[in-house]
Amino acid sequence: MNMTIRLLRLLCIVGLFHMPLAACGGDDDGSGTGDDLDGDGIPDDEDTDDDGDGIPDDSDDCPTDPSPDCSGDFDGDGIPDDEDTDDDNDGTPDDEDSCPFNPNPSCGTSSNETCKHLDVVIAVDPSGSMSEEMSAMASEVFGGPNGFARSLINISDGLDDYQVGTLDACPTPASFNTTGEAPGPDQDNGSVDCNFASDQPWIVGTALRAPADVTAEFECVGAIDRVKNMTTGNITAGTCTGDNDDERPVQAAIAALTDPFISNENAGFMRPDALLVVIAITDEDEHTIPDTSAQQLYDQLVAAKGDVNNIVFLGIGGGSDCTGAYGTAENSQKLHNVADLFIAQERGVWWDLCQGNLGGGLDQALQVIETACDEFDPDVE
């Protein structure tokens, strides 16, 4: 099941990457017909999956290499990253480059010494109606050439690191996910271990990690590990029944960042010197249990971090009842109201699922993260 995880696209804001894919197509053999790398009868210049590995070219780190252990080709020079001595093609060898996957000469030279870390929480509605959105997240947000994994590290001209904890919107339990859904035709195909290199229940990205490796972790855990509730028959996650109790992404994020979870399963995740980013995604609304207002949710998130200026909130939900690019969505009014409270403080973004183009919403979020990072004050009590 191709599910969730890419979390932010196109780092235009930092003026950083335009990721060229390896060239494909053409008529290299002079036969008069386009080349066909995977022999599927579709010329490469018309084929959306040139290597036939099941990953569309625009989401494939190695669009001409079907090998599952392909390391990617960050700079598109035809040399795999694990063999390339200058992965970003900036003229500085990797072993002398403080940002080997960022050709921006200012990377690593930022005068901003206060914002060098990000802690990111992504809470995703795991209900059965979210399959289309999860697939879109996988192709437009978290992985792929322009996804979150490649973009975050370059905020504020280069962070030291970022951490990403992913959980479903069923806050029982509110521990971060370390498994993803196994590939298959159904909504519950079993689990696969994501094997985070951090040895923590969250992803850690640094300037020295190959984006292809981080992307693989994003794509694994973003395929939210769902189960069928044996009592209700609903697709859900955790111990939820799937009767709206798994549509609480904001409450799940709050639970993950507060006791008892922040002192136990999630201990060490939220750092005092890191900007906190919370992303909440649902195609219905925030069905709080017990009933909790948008103001109360906002207050609880701010209290978890200590100051609204040190948080960025992105709400993704339906702006109305609609059938759009990602299937049906209901009006997510409470989630929208939470986002508006952060927007009023210049620390929030709302993106309407009915509009499609999730990448556009994440572009906006990156801009707000950039601003918040520039203004970050870790000493605020």
CATH number at residue 339: 3.40.50.410
Query: Is the residue at 37 inside a domain?
Result: no
- pLDDT number for residue 32: 43
Query: Is the residue at 381 inside a domain?
Result: no
Tell me the average pLDDT of the chain: 79
Query: Is the residue at 380 inside a domain?
Result: no
In the predicted model, is pLDDT for residue 1 greater than 50?
Answer: no
The band of 319, judged by pLDDT with boundaries at 50, 70 and 90, is very high
Ranges of beta strands (E only) in the chain are 117-124, 161-168, 179-181, 191-193, 203-206, 227-228, 235-236, 275-281, 311-317, 322-324, 327-329, 348-352
What DSSP character marks residue 156?
A: G
Q: What is the number of domains present in the chain?
A: 1
Higher-pLDDT residue of 69, 284? 284
Query: Is the residue at 350 inside a domain?
Result: yes
Query: Is the residue at 284 inside a domain?
Result: yes
Higher-pLDDT residue of 282, 34? 282
Q: What is the pLDDT of residues 22-58, one digit of tens each?
A: 333 344 444 444 578 878 888 888 888 888 877 777 6
Residue 163: give the domain boundaries: 117-374
Helix, strand or coil for residue 203? Answer: strand
Higher-pLDDT residue of 301, 47? 301
Q: Between vectors from CA 203 to CA 280 and to CA 157, what angle results, nearest 5°? A: 85
Mean pLDDT calculated for residue range 282-310 = 95
Q: What is the pLDDT of residues 242-271, one digit of tens each?
A: 787 889 999 999 999 999 999 999 999 999
Query: Is the residue at 8 inside a domain?
Result: no
Of 146, 157, 152, 162, which Cα lies nearest the Cα of 274?
162
Higher-pLDDT residue of 236, 275? 275
Query: Is the residue at 7 inside a domain?
Result: no
In the predicted model, is pLDDT for residue 16 greater than 70?
Answer: no
What pTM was estimated for this model as a whole? 0.73
In the predicted model, is pLDDT for residue 6 greater than 50?
Answer: no
